[in-house]
């Protein structure tokens, strides 16, 4: 690595609020001001002890994380290394070169700093590839970047491209970004559904039936559990009214299994017990054989089959209407995605 440099991302405070100070004063700086000035011959263990004394309420994990980042700034940063910092409001990455050893100045917002020669202007985030954006999006205060990322930042810097080239890059990257976002969204949705199924698979058979009953309530039904000790389960009887007189009157079977699909014979048994009910719902945590699906289609009653995939879809689409005790069985958090 002779005559080579390393590339470091250094966050300019929460939301990049210190970026103007960085650029105006020609510096890059980090916080943890309570440490005081750090000696150049400080050992790692001594730095860790200083952190524990300065921030006694921090957890061990937090201490180790902060020590590691401060150690890099103090010991691993070298003159000639490249620096990247981000202005989140302008969505621009500023690029520079370290020009000094570690310095300390308690008149700054962040006391620990190094001198930096910053390039004029910043590289727009929208000009970068998705891989570069992902690499630059890590949340640590300090982390190392690859030469490929640095080269892409330089290539798309205003000093290296014309306004016309910039507009072309932005247009192409917009199309690529939309494609990548859609692919990423589909992947995340698929993964989240599998995670939800993992939670449901760990429920007891009682809680699984309780979950299905709660889901029916969110759809406007009144439900009643009917004990059936033979298969360690319960039918759920559902109707729009509490007396079970109004239509549609549903009989719901819930099968909690870890494997083996529901077969035709089990569907026939279910259909045979439909006396007095006009519609049936069969829920299983596995799936249905082709023969079972055929039995449901040819039945004299309307039968809805719900496997784990359909159960998750119903759960997600009606989650906000579920009662708190039902949500507690499968705790979920809403996330927002750009459209």
Residue 227: beta bridge partners?
234
- Does residue 2 surpass a pLDDT of 60? no
State residue 1's pLDDT score. 39
- Does residue 147 surpass a pLDDT of 80? yes
Chain segment 243-252, per-residue pLDDT in tens? 666 677 788 8
Model confidence band, residue 261 (pLDDT cutoffs 50, 70, 90): confident
pLDDT average, residue stretch 185-203:
87
State residue 175's pLDDT score. 62
Q: Closest Cα partner for 142 from 4, 13, 43, 5?
A: 13
- Does residue 314 surpass a pLDDT of 60? yes
Domain residue spans of the chain: 7-161, 205-327
How far is residue 308's CA from residue 264's CA, in Å, rounded to a whole number?
18
Topology, domain 205-327 = Trna Endonuclease; Chain: A, domain 1 (3.40.1350)
pLDDT average, residue stretch 40-57:
92
pLDDT average, residue stretch 23-47:
93
pLDDT greater at residue 271 or residue 2: 271
The dihedral sign for the CA sequence 50, 56, 60, 64: negative
How far is residue 93's CA from residue 123's CA, in Å, rounded to a whole number?
5
- Does residue 335 surpass a pLDDT of 90? no
Q: Do domains 7-161 and 205-327 have the same CATH topology?
A: no
How far is residue 239's CA from residue 192's CA, in Å, rounded to a whole number?
32
pLDDT above 90 as % of the chain: 48
Has domain 7-161 been given CATH number 3.40.50?
A: no
The dihedral sign for the CA sequence 10, 133, 80, 40: positive
State residue 49's pLDDT score. 93
Model confidence band, residue 171 (pLDDT cutoffs 50, 70, 90): low
How far is residue 237's CA from residue 249's CA, in Å, rounded to a whole number?
7
* Global pTM value: 0.56
- Does residue 183 surpass a pLDDT of 80? no
State residue 105's pLDDT score. 94
State residue 150's pLDDT score. 94
Model confidence band, residue 176 (pLDDT cutoffs 50, 70, 90): low
Chain segment 49-99, per-residue pLDDT in tens? 999 999 999 898 889 999 999 999 999 999 999 999 999 888 899 999 999
pLDDT greater at residue 230 or residue 86: 86
Maximum alpha-carbon separation in the chain: 86
- Does residue 205 surpass a pLDDT of 80? yes
State residue 117's pLDDT score. 96
Model confidence band, residue 230 (pLDDT cutoffs 50, 70, 90): very low
């Amino acid at each position: 690595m002779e005559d080579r440099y390393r590339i470091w991302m250094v966050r300019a405070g929460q939301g990049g609020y210190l970026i103007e100070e960085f650029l105006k004063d020609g510096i890059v700086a980090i916080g943890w001001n309570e440490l005081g000035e750090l000696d150049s011959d400080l050992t790692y263990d001594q730095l860790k002890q200083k952190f524990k004394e300065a921030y006694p309420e921090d957890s061990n994990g937090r201490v180790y994380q902060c020590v590691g980042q401060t150690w890099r700034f103090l010991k691993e940063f070298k003159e000639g290394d490249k620096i990247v910092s981000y202005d989140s409001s302008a969505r621009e990455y500023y690029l520079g070169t370290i020009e000094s050893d570690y310095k300390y100045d308690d008149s700054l917002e962040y006391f620990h700093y190094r001198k930096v020669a910053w390039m004029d202007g910043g590289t727009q985030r929208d000009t970068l590839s998705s891989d570069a954006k992902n690499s630059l999006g890590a949340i640590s205060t300090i982390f190392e970047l690859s030469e490929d990322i640095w080269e892409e930042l330089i290539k798309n810097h205003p000093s290296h491209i014309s306004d016309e080239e910039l507009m072309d890059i932005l247009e192409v990257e917009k199309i690529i970004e939309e494609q990548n976002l859609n692919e990423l969204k589909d992947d995340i949705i698929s993964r989240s559904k599998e995670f939800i199924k993992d939670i449901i698979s760990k429920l007891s058979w009682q809680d699984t039936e309780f979950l299905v009953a709660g889901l029916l309530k969110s759809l406007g039904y009144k439900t009643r559990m009917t004990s059936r000790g033979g298969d360690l389960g319960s039918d759920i009887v559902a109707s729009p009214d509490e007396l079970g007189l109004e239509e549609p009157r549903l009989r719901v079977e819930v099968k909690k299994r870890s494997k083996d699909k529901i077969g035709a014979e089990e569907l026939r048994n279910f259909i045979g017990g439909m006396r007095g009910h006009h519609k049936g719902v069969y829920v299983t945590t596995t799936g249905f054989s082709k023969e079972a699906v055929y039995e449901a289609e040819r039945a004299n009653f309307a039968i809805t089959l719900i496997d784990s995939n359909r159960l998750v879809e119903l759960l997600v689409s009606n989650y906000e209407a579920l009662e708190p005790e039902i949500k507690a069985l499968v705790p979920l958090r809403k996330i927002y995605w750009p459209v």
